[in-house]
A and B are shown apart, each in its own frame.
Chain A
Amino acid sequence: MERLLEIARKHADAATVYQASGTQDGVGFENARLKSADSAMRSGTALTLVKNGKQGFAYTRNLIDREGLVRDALAALAGGVEAAGDLPQPVKLPQLDTAAEPVGGNALLAEECRRVTDYLSERVKGQVNVGAGRGESEVRVLTSTGVDVRTRATQYFAMAQVLFPGTYSSISRARAAKGFAAFPDADLQFIVDTYNASMRETKGVPGRTRALFLPGSVYALVWRLGRATSARNVYEKVSPLTGRIGEKILGDRFTLADEPLNDAEPGARAFDDEGTPCRNLKLFENGVLRSYYNDRFYAAKTGTEPTGNGFRDDITSPPASSLEHMTIPPGDKSLSDLLKLMGRGVVVAGVMGAHSGNLMHGDYSIGLAPGLWVENGAIVGVVKDAMVAGNVYEDLKNMIEVGDAVQHAPMGRFPALLLDNVSFSARA
């Protein structure tokens, strides 16, 4: 990497080298039977050059031909992509504890999957699918301004689900940690109890109702807020939150943060993929809009400090603003408290089509996969062919309560959220 940077500096005013490598293993059980055991080993290097205020980007999987990679990046300079923002300067970063004892091979994962499968299969009639995986990854960012930062991380993840007949809709729980972490019985019992309470098919009552978004469904709501708090969309003036920092936007109970420095959780980062120091960021605090997030390009464009949110999907894409460590702090209501508070309504236990609809405007209209109908504070069955729809800026003003348990979920770590006055539609 140092040699690559050296060559790059001869041709450009500034340069960033990004290198990532890692291994992953995973085991899957389907219908309570061992189905797959696979592995992957990946590596790659990306180079960004800056010359005369323009930038060029190139990448490769195998850093054999350094001159070739520099040539590709120099060729990309010809496009005239503006290099807004300086490269980061070296600073002392917090020491994060990101790596645990590596989880043993696929045999250990298979053993845990078997245990979980057996637990669930003995207690439910539905189909049981369980998967577990482990990974180790390294990231290093080297810049011509003297930044040389690296991190090594380990991850463990697992998923357990019980499917409703004829569908992939399920009651599920996910688990993620730095090292091996067996599924607690409480999580498995949640799946058992919720599934067994929901086996009967029921209709629900179309119209405005209370909706309890379980942790795994909360991403359908925060996805919209993530779009609107992106500095890029603020700079383009298409975000409805443009120019509204400090304004009360959502209900008092709603706080949304990005916490890359929380190394109790897997994937913590002291620096982003541009080498910018990460920091914990409140996006909304008790309903008040506190901050947008950015990469260095949009920090420069909006004249603000970089927040350290420049991450890459892969070495093939340059860094872009993204929220990789979102979380909502827990409230103090248990699931049964939330159901009692709801009285009548729908539990959004899983969603389909969360990406559909006018995300920027905050609209959502999502299929329930599954939706569970609640009467008198108790689940009475599963509703089919049903949707909930609304707008996050209206519905998060009407948030009634927040669950007391934060769970690993798509896009972050969230508790359950109980909302009022959500539109529910279903086949008559």
Chain B
Amino acid sequence: MFDRLEKMLGLVQADYADLRYELARQTSIDFSGRELTGLSASSTDGFVWRVLKNGGWSEVSFTRPEDAEKAARSAVENAGLLARGGARPVRLAPVPPLRDEVHPRLNEDPRTVPVEAKLDLLRRYNDIALSNLRVATTQAAYWDLTRDKYFVSTEGARLREELVTTRIMGTIVTKDGSLTQTVRFGFGGSDGMARLRGREAEMGDRVRICVDLLKAEPVKAGEYRAVLDQSLAGVFTHEAFGHFSEADIIEDVPSIREKMRIGEQLGSGVLSITDDPTRPGQLGFYRYDDEGVAARPVALMKDGVLTGRLHSRRTATEFGEPVTGHCVAEDYRYAPIIRMGCIFIEPRGETKVQLLARLGDGLYLCNHMGGQTTGENFTFGAQFGFEVKDGKPGRMLRDINIAGNLYATLKNISAVANDLTLREVGACGKGQTNHRSCNGAPHVLVDSLVVGGR
């Protein structure tokens, strides 16, 4: 395959070019309630060109090998347009042209498991939910994806890395009269199928939470102090802070770039945040990014001070900062963009109980339900929560959405617990979908959050 790709590289007349080819094999199985609504196992593939000519930089994806030349021509034309049209000239940070082949160490390779066994496993979890009389329906999905990625460049890089992702995820819907409640479940990762087995007790817990929500009370709108669980604190870290650590998000927004200066005290002294795709065993693992750079851990914030940023080769030059290996594509359909690999808040000394005691009166908010940011403002949902009085969680609450200001909230995190947990299923929707987006945190105490409600 490398020889074929290197021959294609010869089609481009440019200052630099790289070509990525991916072969993807995917199995997916879907239940809607008791109905098995889908099952497929298919392979597919595609290519992405990236071309630099006279400072113009363009990316073109294509699926048919016979389109390689036409796609290369488009990339060169686009690069010419950018070079002539006043775009800031692109310079790529120098990196060694690496040659390596990486295959993941898997605890049970999903490619060796028959589809019938995957179906049985999914059905077992689905049945746990459906056996509860309060459960009206479910959506349950099994999914595994093997990406076999080849990367070559005119600088001489020649890399192959295989990424295998497995997951079981879905939603449970309970119903009482006209009221329905929804709770999500999900298990998975990048280290094999064994992770999907033996999770029956957790599934049972998710069902109980969804049933209990039918009796929960809607939260009242207002400003609160709150303890966030690992899932919510992890999503905050990803959505509100993490995206502004991605150099491509802020490079052309001077007002944000000005605030996100290395060395600025942006958070409280208890807050340290790291992104580390190379951490073994977690969902976001990879060794090389999709422009052939070796990934490395990046300390983004240390004791509240901004200390690092995530880069591609292009933005590393633009910011005058070192490359980090964070330029990643969803798959063969896309050129890579800067993404978090595995972002988390570093744990500190206290326990969750100690954090709740510090909170005294307020809210204990649990399990994220999606989030979004538009800069310094963010919003995200909690699947459920509890009213806390005198450090003790009491009444269960529902319909919780939080809005806040990034900079204020980073300073309002007044305590961080010792119980770091990383999520097992992820989907970051920045332009493309990154199914291996990993984040996590310990429990954190936030001194002020706006909660929307009726």
User: Which A residues are closer than 8 A to B by beta carbons?
Assistant: 25, 27, 30-31, 33-44, 56-62, 69, 72-73, 75-76, 78-82, 105-107, 110, 114, 127, 129, 163-169, 206, 232, 236-238, 240, 297, 315-316, 318, 350, 352-353, 355-361, 363, 365-369, 384-391, 423, 425-428
Contact B401 A387 (CB under 8 A): yes
Contact B77 A80 (CB under 8 A): no
Contact B78 A106 (CB under 8 A): yes
Contact B335 A38 (CB under 8 A): yes
Interface string of B25-42 (1 = CB under 8 A from A): 010010011011111111
Q: How far is the CB of B301 from chain A (nearest CB, A)?
A: 18
Contact A423 B221 (CB under 8 A): yes
Chain A residues within 8 Å of B87, by CB: 33-36
Contact A169 B254 (CB under 8 A): no
Check B14 for interface membership: any CB of A closer than 8 A: no
Chain A residues within 8 Å of B253, by CB: 30-31, 127, 163, 168
Residue of A nearest to B70 (CB): A41
Chain B residues within 8 Å of A237, by CB: 136-137, 175
Contact B379 A387 (CB under 8 A): yes
Contact B369 A78 (CB under 8 A): no
Could you name 23 residue pairs across A and B whose Cβ atoms are closer than 8 Å? A34-B86, A34-B87, A38-B60, A40-B60, A42-B46, A43-B63, A56-B39, A61-B63, A61-B332, A62-B65, A72-B42, A79-B39, A79-B116, A107-B81, A127-B254, A163-B255, A166-B375, A168-B375, A236-B173, A237-B136, A425-B452, A425-B453, A427-B450
CB contacts between A and B, total, < 8 Å: 276
Contact A363 B379 (CB under 8 A): no
* A57 and B434 alpha carbons, distance in the complex (Å): 24
Q: How far is the CB of A240 from chain B (nearest CB, A)?
A: 5
Kindly identify which residue among A44, A355, A388 contacts B370, using a CB–CB cutoff of 8 Å: A355
Q: How far is the CB of A355 from chain B (nearest CB, A)?
A: 5
* A37 and B59 alpha carbons, distance in the complex (Å): 8
Contact B375 A37 (CB under 8 A): no
Known: A423-B454, A425-B452. 11 other contacts (CB 8 A): A37-B58, A39-B74, A41-B64, A44-B63, A56-B39, A60-B44, A75-B115, A79-B39, A163-B253, A353-B371, A356-B370
Contact A367 B377 (CB under 8 A): yes
Contact B81 A110 (CB under 8 A): yes
* A90 and B79 alpha carbons, distance in the complex (Å): 47
Chain B residues within 8 Å of A206, by CB: 221
Kindly identify which residue among A69, A367, A384, A425 contacts B222, using a CB–CB cutoff of 8 Å: A425
Contact B223 A428 (CB under 8 A): yes
Chain B residues within 8 Å of A163, by CB: 253, 255, 375
* A137 and B293 alpha carbons, distance in the complex (Å): 35
Beyond A81-B38, A81-B39, A106-B78, whether A352 also contacts B379 by CB under 8 A is: yes
Chain B 350-382 interface residues, beta-carbon cutoff 8 Å to A = 369-381
Interface stretch of the complex, out of B176-184, B193-201, B277-285, B435-443? B176-184
Chain B 122-139 interface residues, beta-carbon cutoff 8 Å to A = 136-137
Kindly identify which residue among A37, A41, A365 contacts B453, using a CB–CB cutoff of 8 Å: A365
* A353 and B399 alpha carbons, distance in the complex (Å): 13
Total residues of chain B contacting the partner, CB 8 A: 90
Check B71 for interface membership: any CB of A closer than 8 A: yes
Kindly identify which residue among B64, B373, B380, B403 contacts A386, using a CB–CB cutoff of 8 Å: B403
Chain B residues within 8 Å of A390, by CB: 454
Residue of A nearest to B88 (CB): A33
Kindly identify which residue among B44, B78, B221 contacts A39, using a CB–CB cutoff of 8 Å: B78
Chain A residues within 8 Å of B13, by CB: none
Contact B379 A58 (CB under 8 A): no
Residue of A nearest to B429 (CB): A355
Contact B41 A72 (CB under 8 A): yes
A-B CB proximity, top 4 nearest:
A167-B375, A367-B379, A356-B381, A79-B39
Residue of A nearest to B376 (CB): A166
Check B324 for interface membership: any CB of A closer than 8 A: no
Chain A residues within 8 Å of B241, by CB: none
* A72 and B85 alpha carbons, distance in the complex (Å): 48
Chain B 374-403 interface residues, beta-carbon cutoff 8 Å to A = 374-381, 398-401, 403
* A356 and B88 alpha carbons, distance in the complex (Å): 38
* A355 and B381 alpha carbons, distance in the complex (Å): 9
Check B119 for interface membership: any CB of A closer than 8 A: yes
Contact B62 A358 (CB under 8 A): no
Contact B369 A356 (CB under 8 A): yes
* A236 and B135 alpha carbons, distance in the complex (Å): 11
Contact B85 A110 (CB under 8 A): yes
Q: How far is the CB of B34 from chain A (nearest CB, A)?
A: 10
Q: How far is the CB of B297 from chain A (nearest CB, A)?
A: 28
Q: How far is the CB of B80 from chain A (nearest CB, A)?
A: 9
Contact A365 B77 (CB under 8 A): no
* A80 and B173 alpha carbons, distance in the complex (Å): 24
* A426 and B173 alpha carbons, distance in the complex (Å): 31
Check B109 for interface membership: any CB of A closer than 8 A: no
Contact A76 B40 (CB under 8 A): yes
Kindly identify which residue among B77, B180, B332 contacts A360, using a CB–CB cutoff of 8 Å: B180
Chain B residues within 8 Å of A73, by CB: 40
Contact A352 B378 (CB under 8 A): yes
Contact A166 B256 (CB under 8 A): yes
Contact A358 B405 (CB under 8 A): no
Q: How far is the CB of B60 from chain A (nearest CB, A)?
A: 5
Q: How far is the CB of A310 from chain B (nearest CB, A)?
A: 12
* A105 and B76 alpha carbons, distance in the complex (Å): 13
* A237 and B372 alpha carbons, distance in the complex (Å): 30
Residue of A nearest to B67 (CB): A41
Instruction: Identify the interface centre among A39, A240, A297: most chain B CB within 10 Å of its CB.
Output: A39
Q: How far is the CB of B224 from chain A (nearest CB, A)?
A: 11
Contact A41 B62 (CB under 8 A): yes
Contact A389 B401 (CB under 8 A): yes
* A251 and B65 alpha carbons, distance in the complex (Å): 55
Instruction: Identify the interface centre among B45, B253, B333: most chain A CB within 10 Å of its CB.
Output: B253
* A387 and B398 alpha carbons, distance in the complex (Å): 16
* A355 and B182 alpha carbons, distance in the complex (Å): 13
Kindly identify which residue among B61, B70, B376 contacts A167, using a CB–CB cutoff of 8 Å: B376
Residue of A nearest to B65 (CB): A62
Kindly identify which residue among B82, B181, B403 contacts A37, using a CB–CB cutoff of 8 Å: B82
Chain A residues within 8 Å of B36, by CB: 79-82
Q: How far is the CB of B213 from chain A (nearest CB, A)?
A: 9
Contact B373 A236 (CB under 8 A): no
* A143 and B67 alpha carbons, distance in the complex (Å): 28
Contact A366 B452 (CB under 8 A): yes
Q: How far is the CB of A390 from chain B (nearest CB, A)?
A: 6
Beyond A37-B58, A78-B115, A389-B401, whether A238 also contacts B175 by CB under 8 A is: yes
Kindly identify which residue among A34, A39, A41, A44 contacts B82, using a CB–CB cutoff of 8 Å: A34
Instruction: Identify the interface centre among A360, A385, A387, A390: most chain B CB within 10 Å of its CB.
Output: A385
Contact B452 A316 (CB under 8 A): no
Q: How far is the CB of B83 from chain A (nearest CB, A)?
A: 10
* A80 and B58 alpha carbons, distance in the complex (Å): 45
Contact A60 B43 (CB under 8 A): yes
Q: How far is the CB of B92 from chain A (nearest CB, A)?
A: 16
Residue of B nearest to A43 (CB): B63
Q: How far is the CB of B78 from chain A (nearest CB, A)?
A: 4
Kindly identify which residue among B33, B56, B81 contacts A236, using a CB–CB cutoff of 8 Å: B33
Contact B372 A352 (CB under 8 A): yes
Q: How far is the CB of A273 from chain B (nearest CB, A)?
A: 14
Contact A360 B223 (CB under 8 A): no
Chain A residues within 8 Å of B26, by CB: 316
Contact B452 A388 (CB under 8 A): yes
Contact A56 B180 (CB under 8 A): no
